[in-house]
Structure formats: C-alpha cells, structure tokens
A = this chain, B = another copy of it.
C-alpha cells in the first residue's frame, strides 16, 4: 500500500468547504482511504471557542483548584468548564482531566486543543466525528477516517488514532479464521481505523509543515467480519473501573 500526504492544504477557516479543498488537491481513486486530522474538521465546522464562552460552575472551580494545587500554579476554571461540557463523564479529574467525550473517545482534556487555533483560545473536537467523516465521504466518494493524536497508558508518546469513520468498518475481525497450520484464531480483532490513523501520522507530521490530510492507496480490508465498536464502555474496561476507584496522591 502507499501512504502520502495531500499537499498544500491551506489554513482552514470556519465554513470552509473542506471536501472541495481536498478534491482540488488530490485525484482520489476507488480503494483509497482518506484520513483527515480532526483539527481541520473542527476549524471548518467552527469549533473554535474562547475561554470567555465558558461560565465555570462549582465542579469546574473544584477541579481547577485541585489540579492547580498539584501543579503549583493557578489553573483557569473556565478551561475545566469547557472540558466538562465536552465530556460525557470524567475518568479522572486530577492531576489531569481524563474524559470520555460525548462520542465515546477517552482522552486528556476531552481533546480540547490550546495550541493550534488562530483567532480563538481553544479548538474543540468535532461534535460527532463519524458524522463529519460521513459528510466528507459522501462528497469525495471514498472512505474517510477523522484522526487525532493521543497518548496512552503503559507506553510513552502519542500515536495517531481514529475518532470517527465512514465508508469503512472500524474493526477487522479474524476470529474463527485459521492460521496456516489450521489452528483457529481466537482473539484477533484488529482496529484498522486506528492503524490507518497511525500509518498516516507518519507522513502528515506536526509543526510548521503540518499536512492534515493523507491518503492510503491500494490497501485491502479483505473479506473478513467487521464491526464498529471501537470505544470500550465501562463494563468492558477494567482500567476504567480501576481509575474510577483511584485517588491520586502526589506524595
């Protein structure tokens, strides 16, 4: 398969027709999968926001105070309020906020970006990344994965992950198939949308040559079972249950 970034995507403004901007810059073919960074989706969808848009309630004040005490510097309760409004629930409130977004993704600060937003304090994640992917897929005629980069337990650093997808299933399910010695595969469900996000993150980069859109060409999902349950719910996630019980102690 081939993986390449779409060149010369301009800085995206609210209301921009992202599909048209992509379509002008790449000849998509049948079989291509397009990955689009959530930052440009959010910008096109007008998801920039200012801290002054958020009126912190008691819980936001508590959280900001607690994180601030641990960090030894004042934290803005308006930011905590923004995270609360973007979250279905919190997995952890301190020493940082680990939140479940309304669409099920678990990430620090509900994925709110404070570094990459011309003319706004904050950039919120797309409200429904799979709906965003569907609109782009309908316009462009290929499967689309809306991506972000995210840290993870156990391993340092960040890697590309899928937030939403359309025209492709999230998971390739090998269970019930057989290895080449004839033994049945028992526990292999492959999160292909995350792997596609990771693959394209290798070529899209960060920083001053950021290229937020990429194409995976000549990759074949193959003839396998599939499903779309990418995000674990609480019942199926012992780590989440353990974090619910966890009290952070800085000493």
Q: Which residues of A line the B interface, CB within 8 A?
A: 1-4, 11, 92, 95, 106, 115-116, 118, 149, 152-161, 170-171, 174, 177-181, 183-192, 194-196, 198-199, 201-203, 205-210, 216, 219, 222, 229-232, 236-243, 245-246, 248
A52 to B: closest C-beta gap in Å? 20
A162: nearest chain-B partner, CB-CB: B155
Partner of A191, one of B156, B180, B248: B156
Q: Is the CB of B232 within 8 A of A205?
A: no
A200: nearest chain-B partner, CB-CB: B199
Q: Which residues of B contact A206 (CB under 8 A)?
A: 174, 177, 179, 185, 188, 190
Interchain residue pairs with CB less than 8 A apart (28): A1-B4, A1-B202, A2-B3, A92-B238, A115-B179, A115-B183, A115-B184, A116-B181, A152-B154, A153-B153, A154-B231, A154-B232, A157-B170, A157-B230, A158-B187, A159-B194, A160-B195, A160-B198, A178-B208, A180-B207, A185-B207, A192-B202, A195-B199, A196-B202, A202-B216, A238-B243, A238-B246, A246-B246
Q: Which residues of B contact A161 (CB under 8 A)?
A: 155
Partner of A199, one of B153, B198, B232, B245: B198
Q: Which residues of B contact A92 (CB under 8 A)?
A: 238
Partner of A152, one of B118, B152, B199: B152
Q: How many copies does the complex hold?
A: 2
Q: Is the CB of B155 within 8 A of A210?
A: no
Cα A115 to Cα B186 with chains together (Å): 8
Cα A115 to Cα B190 with chains together (Å): 17
The interface centre, meaning the residue of A95, A115, A118, A240 with most chain B CB atoms within 10 A of its CB, is A115
* 4 closest A-B pairs by CB: A199-B199, A157-B191, A153-B239, A242-B246
Beyond the given A157-B170, A179-B207, A192-B202, please list 4 additional residue pairs across the A-B interface where CB-CB is below 8 A: A1-B3, A160-B195, A177-B208, A205-B222
Q: Is the CB of A180 within 8 A of B11?
A: yes
Q: Is the CB of A208 within 8 A of B179?
A: yes
Q: Is the CB of B154 within 8 A of A239?
A: yes
A33: nearest chain-B partner, CB-CB: B202
Q: Is the CB of B208 within 8 A of A198?
A: no
